[in-house]
Amino acid sequence: MICKKINVKRYPNNPILGPDRTHSWEAQAVFNGCPVKDDDGYHLLYRALSFKEKHADQTMEFSTIGYAHSDDGYSFTGERTQLIAPEEDWERYGCEDPRVTKIDDKYYITYTALSDFPHTAEGIKIAVAITKDFKTIEERHLVTPFNSKAMAIFPERVNGKIVAIFTMNTDKPPVRIMLAEFDTPEQMWDVDYWKKYQKTIDRHTLHFQRSLEDHIEVGAPPIKTEDGWLLLYSYIRDYKTGHPTFGIETAVLDLENPRKVVGRSKDPLIKPEEIYEQYGMIPNITFPSGLLLDGDELRLYYGAADTVCAVATLSLKGLLEFITLRDCEEHAHDASEPVQFERFEGNPLIEPTHNGNWESKYTLNPTAIYDDGKVHIIYRAQDDNDTSVMGYATSEDGFRLTEKLDEPIYVPRIPEEVREEPGFSGCEDARITKIDDMFYMCYTAYNGYGPARVAFTSISEKDFRARNWDKWSLPKMISPEGMDDKNSCLVSEKINGKYMFFHRLKHTIWVDYVDDLEFENGRTLGGRSIMCAREDSWDSEKVGIAGPPIKVGNEWLLIYHALSRHDGQYRLGAALLDLEKGEVTSRLDYPILEPKAEYENKGLRPGTVFSCGSVLLENGHIYTYYGGADEVVCVARMEFKCLVDALEAQKNR
């Protein structure tokens, strides 16, 4: 049972810390305070902001990090000191937003270091300062060599490693919440460590964003509970629209594997409501910066209006009920918690060779089929002349390749797919289906001149398994001449006694029914439209099938790709179809896979995930194979039941 509300009590004497005009370094604002408790009481690190003053070669508002002490965590009435101010070039123009964690006998204070002014993404990075007594900084180091903020270190090692969570690309989206693991504290500032880390960026990413218009940033250092690591973060809805809404949200991460999200809130714990949250240097901000646990009581420390420090309390038990992970059926009924594909941490599966051969330039847009105990992956590959052919690989578990052939299994053979001079042409974006003992493949044939058309070929089960690739039948052109038509497949069983094809005309998904597969006497695909783009949604420009649909009871699950007219990105969505009636019975309002990973945003076409096939394996997961940025072959999976439940729930909305 999910709590609809949780009782969060703001401290009646908020704010607990405000600007001090007697100290020029904290005269304008003090906010985003992070506390740590030990035998000496409560130590609060906070961001302090001056009014405009001369600093280095600039006149600017200047951030440093202050320190305050309290016996009870509420009353910080003693002397406040400036603990961290710039000393190194990489922090020359400010030190912001500290988080503090004790490791062994030292306190590690992570903060945002600013190396340039006016501030740019390249000059905003994470640093760390180390102290034993909050009086003397023993050493400080630049941590990340890339744009990042808000690093919080876990309060104890996980599986023997120091673990940190931080926000990457805060100032050059897409923003990412990242996990990093270190064998030693020194590895935190090891440049070689970060070079290797950036090569496998997606395996370290936690996906929390609900919309491309939103922004997210790590808040307080996580705390350990019986149910997992409790994480607070800032979730800013409509960040890019010019009318952002700041809220504090929370998630629980698995104790042994913090990359696994056990549960998360669907609504903010706190939104700007009080005067000190709504009015200040930057109005309407609540930003989580600290978290302490005493029995069942959680103390949430936060910055308000980028001007003061505040605190609120709530019940740990109530909070965990508020964010407990639901099963698939419950999850499906919550539109704010969309079902999503989970990427394979070993992506990309296949990359261009860059050696001048048939797959030198691009490898992309795979189709897949499960047969004879393995997944068969047929992917598009392009050489340096931009001629497309088809490569082949297999996987036994859906993720890891067990074999990849050195030569293509399908090449251009007819005038409609052959170009005399270099340029885009060939056999593109196949979809494969099996009926009885035959494999049928639709693909896009393009010769660089006329419109792209749908080609249709087949091969026997015997020859396919024996890899007699020369036995593919001579392709037939089955779409109308002179019309751009692609994204086609044959459904894996007859519908109402006829063979059924999908294809794409005029930016919409069409279906057609034929009596046989001969396509004689000028017969080509036609039919009617079954699914269109939605003007004000993420799938607003054009839609096409991903792979052949998968049967679910009396209906069929279709994963489709869509292009957005708003940002030009390709994403994947899902729908349920009644093929006997030829209609859509359910369609999710949101994408189930969108370009977030680096390999989906760096290539021939950045911002693209484009699938031509999925398989359902015995473990209950659907595996979708897709091209990332039109350059690499990738895979992601999801529990099949979760996806179906979400579509069933959509029917009732």
Same fold, 9-325 and 342-651: yes
Average pLDDT over residues 531-540: 89
The CATH superfamily assigned to 342-651 is Glycosyl hydrolase domain; family 43 (2.115.10.20)
Q: Could you tell me which residue, 486 or 257, shows the higher pLDDT?
A: 486
Nearest to 596 by CA among 605, 607, 604: 607
Residue 370 zone, left/alpha/beta (φ > 0; ψ -120 to 50; rest): beta
Where residue 284 falls among pLDDT bands split at 50, 70, 90? Answer: very high
Share of the chain above pLDDT 70, in %: 96
Output the pLDDT for position 1: 27
Nearest to 177 by CA among 197, 144, 149: 149
pLDDT, one tens digit per residue, over 158-195 is: 999 999 999 999 988 778 899 999 999 999 999 999 99
pLDDT, one tens digit per residue, over 618-632 is: 888 999 999 999 999
Partners of 486 in the β-ladder:
504
Output the pLDDT for position 324: 55
Output the pLDDT for position 248: 94
In the predicted model, is pLDDT for residue 5 greater than 90?
A: no
Output the pLDDT for position 331: 41
Average pLDDT over residues 519-542: 92
Output the pLDDT for position 328: 42
pLDDT, one tens digit per residue, over 113-147 is: 999 999 999 999 999 999 999 999 999 999 999 99
Say which CATH topology domain 9-325 has: Tachylectin-2; Chain A (2.115.10)
Output the pLDDT for position 202: 64
Query: How much of the chain is helix, strand and coil, in % rounded to 5?
Result: 10, 45, 45
Output the pLDDT for position 332: 44
In the predicted model, is pLDDT for residue 32 greater than 70?
A: yes
Where residue 267 falls among pLDDT bands split at 50, 70, 90? Answer: confident
Output the pLDDT for position 628: 96
Phi then psi dihedrals of residue 208, to 5 deg? -120, -20
Token pair recorded at residue 115: 């190396």
CA distance 29 to 27: 6
Where residue 653 falls among pLDDT bands split at 50, 70, 90? Answer: low
In the predicted model, is pLDDT for residue 416 greater than 50?
A: yes
Task: Please say whether the beta carbons of 476 and 519 come within 8 A.
Answer: yes
Output the pLDDT for position 262: 77
Output the pLDDT for position 450: 80
Output the pLDDT for position 327: 41
Mean per-residue pLDDT over the chain, rounded: 92
CA distance 432 to 435: 10
In the predicted model, is pLDDT for residue 4 greater than 80?
A: no
Output the pLDDT for position 537: 87
Share of the chain above pLDDT 90, in %: 80
Query: Would you say the pTM of this structure is higher than 0.75?
Result: no
What are the boundaries of each domain within the chain?
9-325, 342-651
Output the pLDDT for position 3: 35
pLDDT, one tens digit per residue, over 71-97 is: 999 999 889 999 999 999 999 999 999
Output the pLDDT for position 650: 86
Task: Please say whether the beta carbons of 331 and 338 come within 8 A.
Answer: no
Average pLDDT over residues 270-287: 95
Average pLDDT over residues 209-231: 87
Q: Could you tell me which residue, 433 or 323, shows the higher pLDDT?
A: 433
Q: Could you tell me which residue, 610 or 206, shows the higher pLDDT?
A: 610
Neighbours of 293 (CB within 10 A): 14
Output the pLDDT for position 231: 96
